[in-house]
Structure 1
């Protein structure tokens, strides 16, 4: 195994599960909230408020909580097709409840404000990557089919998937978006506006060695699976509630999704990048599912 048992428990405790986004303590506002200052530092560690329509593929996955009688954000995702959302597998894969609960989920799209009054979209199908076991072993991907396609507009548009031949470098401009916590003990506050942060890609070997030193492990096998990549720095990266969300990099003037938020240590409190599922490693599988199940 890539990690020793005690170290795996430590990693699990500080990982980034979708459900880690604790709902706010009061019922949702009925009216759309007022705009937030453009540089307000809330949500996503080290981030600031995103302009309306800048990231039109960003979506929120919701679950209904009877305690608040509301559809509450649990994790992020991205539109990769008018009727398909790409997200992380570790929520469904760990609970094994896909066939029974897909109707209990909704998708919020087209608005930087989580609770801005837009109609929520129904999910008709959930496809977890067949090789998924746990996020720490890779293959942390899932596809959600919407009951009806999203109407394309300036606020809702699919992200570009990477070609297999595309090369990414540490010099590429890359951004992370989401409605997650701004700090490990700091939930996103009203008006619940989408956050963005520019983060650097991390070299594979340096990321692997950094995690090995932090975990004090000499176990055989890699800590960072082959189909994952690292990005972010201390004070800039994802936190609970950002899982499943997109990491995009600009290539020749086009934003391309390179990663899906998977796991990490302590919400960027340490000198370690976060770990993302490498979309390029799975782009053939993603496209195959979209063709097969239309």
Structure 2
């Protein structure tokens, strides 16, 4: 009986500890922390989760490989801890500073960016003519059928701006674009005036398929869309030079499928989040403490239940222009996000301010003026 009681007391102390004795788990964690500190000091690196350790043994500060898990763990300096071997690795830490730029007024003779409906309540579902520049991009599937692939923006009667990740491995002949200014955009029921083939895909030369910075592409269409007049189609403006977005709420709109698997136009109003604040918030996600938000990105969102979601790649983020509340310019392209409409987790967009010079140059080379 005495032995039994001793064992019971030992079990209680071992499992739960007492007020003066740390638990074995706490001791183990402290031991791992001490050993990792020694590893870091010895090798001049930092212990992080393996997914943050890039192939060159540097900490991945740009978010490479966040979209797909790596199939094979890299051979690196192992640290203590984790739930499987090599989950925690010692990687080199780089210091990369960040700066931010802002995007003034548009010339008064422009006609882009005007809705056919006037400004509407942000909580109301879209109606025909509200976003007359949103394009639906279809791709040809392996079975020869057309599938809705991504969204885009008509920025010129013959040019659609979208995300590079939507078209990075596509040939122009595999894509068809539909623009009709309506809340449904079915290829099968579209008229010849509402659809066009693609003659050329222009991909941003600095695009990185892993981290998705400079995630922008231009689709040069086979034909001009008829914009303005009595129709529902219009183009969206590129942003002014120095438009201060601080404190501004913008709209993201694009094609998606609802609960009944029906393709519809969706919108969400989201707040602009400055670059530094966005980076701080994203470092609290699985991207980790050392994540560096590339300067080609901008952010918006971080409100529960609001924001772009799966399938909305290439959609425009648009803000009304000061002094012209009914006129919009595109400030971002939906690129990626951690989760969907999560509190304090902004969505990440390609900054139009960072790719506007490239856009203008490519269009000028083709005698296309916007």
Q: Normalised by the size of structure 1, how large is the TM-score?
A: 0.76
Report the count of equivalent residues: 247
Residue 128 of structure 2 is aligned to residue 59 of structure 1: no
Distance change in 2, residues 1:137/1:66 (3 Å):
closer
* Equivalence for 1:26: none
The gaps in structure 2 that reach 5 residues or longer are 1-47, 53-62, 70-121
Gaps of 5+ in 1: 15-45
1:205 corresponds to 2:276: yes
Kindly indicate whether residue 238 of structure 2 is the aligned counterpart of residue 161 of structure 1: yes
Residue in 2 that maps onto 1:43: none
Give runs of ≥4 in structure 1 deviating > 6 Å: none
1:260 aligns with 2:336: no
Equivalent-residue separation in structure 2 for 1:225 and 1:287 (angstroms): 22
1:173 to 245, 249, 265: 249
* Distance apart, 1:152 and its partner CA: 1.1
Q: Is the 8 A contact 1:50 1:193 kept in 2?
A: no
Q: Is the 8 A contact 1:244 1:260 kept in 2?
A: yes
Distance 1:181 1:240 in 2: 10
- Which of 140, 145, 161 matches 1:86? 161
Q: 2: CA distance between counterparts of 1:216 and 1:278?
A: 20
| Comparing 241-250 and 127-136, the one that deviates more | 127-136
Partner of 1:196: 267
Per-residue deviation, residues 113-169 of structure 1 (Å, max 9, x unmatched): 021433321000000001112262511100000011111134211101112222222
Cα distance in 2 between the residues matched to 1:52 and 1:234:
27
Per-residue displacement from partner, 1:195-226 (whole Å, max 9, x unpaired)? Answer: 1111111122221011111126243xx53211
Aligned to 1:214: 285
- 1:123 and 2:198 correspond: yes
Structure 2: distance between partners of 1:71 and 1:218:
42
Aligned mates of 1:277, 1:218 — CA distance in 2: 22
Work out the CA distance in 2 between the residues paired with 1:137 and 1:261. 11
1:27 aligns to what? none
Q: TM-score, normalised by structure 2?
A: 0.61
